[in-house]
Amino acid sequence: MPSALYVPDHCSGGPRTIQFVDFAPYSPGCRSDTVSIAKMGTGQRGVRVGRVTRFLWNARPSVPHVRYGGRRMCDFRVLGALEILDGSTWKSVGGPKVRILLAVLLAAGGRTISIDRLVEELWSPGSHPQRDQRNLVQQYVMRLRRRLGDRDRTMLVTKAPGYRLVFDPERLDAHRFEALHAEGQGLFAAGAHDKAFTVLGGALDLWRGPAMEDVPLSPTVRTAAERLEEARLAAAELRIEASHRIGGHLATLAELRALRDSNPLREGLWEKEMTALLESGRRAEALDVYQRARRVFQDELGLEPGTALRDLQQLILTGGGARSGRF
């Protein structure tokens, strides 16, 4: 196995991405060594994309905080409980209001959020108004700064008419998920279904639970969490479709069924399950799946299944040949 120069990324938490190339430039703050790809430890996975091999590596960063644009930076995770990297340990942020505050600032992507807007986020409409809500926002900001270790106030910046969080998007797991999801979509569209399957798997591996699961719902938190969950579902569906395109119909069947159980009104998941069974020669089971889907749609919506499911049922009943799934 030929050796390659590698530049590990120490600037993000959770699964890391390491790029192996024939000649990689030295990156400040990161070490460079020449190693054999064969020496990679157990539990690490990689996919060759052209002359680059990407390895997803669940390791702790050796440099917990670096500076970005002259400012101290932290790592953040929102794909599950909201957490920040404290040294080498992921920890919760603090009380419910502080978690809402950080989630809203992260969702803003570096834009300034006014104090009035933060009041709306922290206290739901109809709740008992407090005379000193603006002062309370400032207290929560102080608590968050302490949690971030932002003594010089260069991360959580005061800027009229409110506050903004300065952070490197690469250090947020949601950003890395979206980047890998987009890459997987591109590979799938280009017909590289095996590579798309691996890259999308890496994107889904970043998830630890429902998005921002420990953050009380505010208008921004609800919208951001729903958007992320929809993207997660789309990535999971596309990964299953990529598996089908390379003949792995049974390999992802259990995953597909769990996804369908969680989203019983998503007709495409029923269709994929029927297609997987049909491709595997299990026609009777595929017809049973159609009947279960029909009962769900009738009970929940008062409707019959859509055209795609009905056509697939007819294909099975008439003894039609197996077909590749559609996406």
Residues 217-227 have pLDDT tens digits of: 999 999 999 99
Consecutive H or E run containing 197: helix 193-205
Average pLDDT, integer, range 152-164: 94
Q: Are 96 and 216 in contact (CB under 8 A)?
A: yes
DSSP state of 172: B
| Average per-residue pLDDT for the chain | 80
Instruction: Check residue 118 and give its pLDDT.
Output: 96
Grade residue 87 by pLDDT with cuts at 50, 70 and 90: confident
Q: Are 76 and 172 in contact (CB under 8 A)?
A: yes
Q: Is the predicted pLDDT of residue 302 greater than 50, yes or no? A: yes
Residue type, 296: V
What is 288-318 written as a DSSP string? HHHHHHHHHHHHHHS----HHHHHHHHHHHT
Residue in this structure with the two tokens 């499911």, named with its chain if needed: 309
Angstrom distance (rounded) from CA 215 to CA 222 = 9
Q: Are 51 and 22 in contact (CB under 8 A)?
A: yes
CA distances from 85 to 44, 208, 274 (A): 22, 15, 43
